[in-house]
Amino acid sequence: MKIPNFRWFIIALVFLAAVLNYIDRQTLSILAKPIQDSLGLGERDYANIVNIFLVAYTISYLVSGRMIDKLGTRVGMAVFVAFWSVFNMCTAAAHGFRSLGFFRFGLGLGEAGVWPAASKSVSEWFPANERALAIGVYTMGSTAGAIIAPFIANALNDFDYAGRLPVVSSLLGEGAGWRLAFILTGAAGLLWLIPWMLLYRQPKQSRFATDKELKLLADSEAAEAAATGVSSDEKPWGWRKIFSSRVVWLLLLGRLITDPAWYFYQFWFPKFLLSDRGLTQSQLNITWIVYAAAGVGSVAGGLLSGLLIKRGRAPAASRLWIMLGCALVMPVSLLITRVSGLGMTIALAAVTIIVALAWLINISSLVVDTVPKACLGAVFGVVAAGSTVGGIIMNTLVGSMCEKVASAPSGFLDRAVDFIFGPVLRAVQGGGYGLWFTLMAFLHLAAWLMLYFGKIHRAGK
């Protein structure tokens, strides 16, 4: 049976994988308090658990892309989704710091693999003018997962198991609610594997792709090869070429410089609202607007660069024009600490997160535009590793800015970062959130100048 525009069914499945990815990731953050109380963990223990996840995530980025290239998109995606889902379910068996850290390390190893696989699926199924939109759609899955996660996790945690489901309470013991939350959210990922394995194939091997869709992909591939010199038949790059490539380093540094803006809104913006805007814990529900804005930016960034490509501009150049617009809007973040009303604070934050995600979609699309398909997973993983390194650096910087009195680094990762960036951390000590919002205002413009003068848009010419 042939299905018109079957590629959008494929991206819908990738979208759902991204939703599950962020639900599983956010469950620990949402239920941190009951988990800490149940396992006897302090704030320092919790910080190290988060760092363990980020370290695993970075390691996985470096190797998962190559695995995806070797295994193929269909099998590779399935392996990583199954891996992280099982580790998420196993988190229900955690009984202390070490076991929880082990399970979160496994979760980080698995979750990072979905993104190289997702980008590779886009390169296989989408023409150049639709790629950024497709990437925007599946990235929106991460924001949707972040919005949904609190409702699912809190509902499962707060349910009266002892009174209404005593069997579950007896089986899981203390902390039955948070333990069942990990079991059920992990099980959802295993169910997702069924439609994925049934439906995903390479376009030419798919029994659902129409002749019209196959011709669209072939024409786009031929036009792109003629314009850039990057052919789908080109021999995959080895590690030596990947790590010596100007393109790879430009994109890696671009992600390292700019992704911290998105990480900040995920991990620190609620704390900013609590401390600087006087919100209560229950009032933090308003942060759903930030995640919704991220979804808008994900789709808008893809649509805009796609329109430029349809008008005849080269894909990489189109991405850069949209990214320049985003970089010029980011200085709006300077106003966030200078306004007093909550409504205006959220509105300005929404504007900055829209353009930050529109930028992220287009810099991710540049990987697909400039790298041979045969090694796309490996390159995407290396580039994305820059993102998590940037996130770790941002966490350390903002933590120092918000700390009035200097304290010794608490975790092994904090000590490593302090060893490298100690003088910088001490220079920004106690500067407050305003210092970060000022820095964040110009990160994207600095990265854009680096990419433009590094001639990323002329890769392959």
CA dihedral sign, ordered 78, 79, 82, 85: negative
- For residue 267, CA distances in Å to 26, 197, 280, 370, 429 come to 11, 34, 17, 32, 19
DSSP calls for 293-332: HHHHHHHHHHHHHHHHHHTT--HHHHHHHHHHHHHHHGGG
CB 259 within 8 A of CB 398: no
Provide the 10 A C-beta neighbour count for residue 181.
30
Q: What is the pLDDT of residue 461?
A: 41
| Cα 140 to Cα 142: distance, rounded to the nearest angstrom | 5
Which residue from 255, 289, 297, 293 is spatially nearest to 135, judged by alpha carbons? Answer: 297
Structure tokens at 350: 């929404």
Whole-model pTM: value is 0.76
- CB neighbour list of residue 403: distance below 8 Å, 6 or more residues apart: 429, 430
Angle at 54 between CA 386 and CA 104, to 5 degrees: 150
Pairwise CA distance, residues 74 & 94, whole Å: 31
Closest-CA residue to 149 (of 184, 108, 174, 195)? 184
Domain regions of the chain by residue span? 1-125+142-227, 246-450
Report whether 363 contacts 258 (CB < 8 A).
yes
Q: Which of 103, 104, 43, 45 is nearest to 412 (CA)?
A: 45
Write out the two tokens for 308: 């430029």
CA distances to 90, 91, 113 from 17, in Å: 19, 19, 11
Q: Domain 246-450 in CATH: superfamily?
A: MFS general substrate transporter like domains (1.20.1250.20)
CATH number of 1-125+142-227: 1.20.1250.20
Classify residue 199 as exposed, middle or buried by CB count within 10 Å of its CB (0-12, 13-18, 19+). Answer: middle
What is the rounded CA–CA span in Å between residue 262 and residue 272? Answer: 14
407/109 Cα distance (integer angstroms): 31
Instruction: Label residue 188 exposed, middle or buried (CB < 10 Å: 0-12, 13-18, 19+).
Output: middle
Length of the chain equals 461
d(CA 186, CA 191): 9
Q: Is there a shared CATH topology between the 1-125+142-227 domain and the 246-450 domain?
A: yes
Q: What is the 3-state secondary structure (H, E, C) of 23-48?
A: HHHHHHHHCHHHHHHHHCCCHHHHHH
CB-neighbour burial class of residue 69 (10 A; exposed 0-12, middle 13-18, buried 19+): buried
Which residues are CB-neighbours of 307 under 8 A, at least 6 positions away? Answer: none
Q: What pLDDT score was predicted for residue 18?
A: 94
Could you tell me the two tokens for 318?
């189109």
Residues of the chain with pLDDT under 70: 43-44, 47, 224-235, 280-282, 284, 403-418, 459-461
In the block, tokens 């991710």 appear at 364
Residue 269, H or E segment: helix 269-276
DSSP class per residue in 198-227: HH---GGG-SS--HHHHHHHHHHHHHHHHH
Calpha distance 12→355 (Å, rounded): 23
The answer to whether residues 354 and 335 touch, using CB atoms and an 8 Å cutoff, is no
Q: Give the tokens for residue 179.
A: 């333990």
Q: Pick from 209, 47, 221: which is nearest to 123 by CA?
A: 221
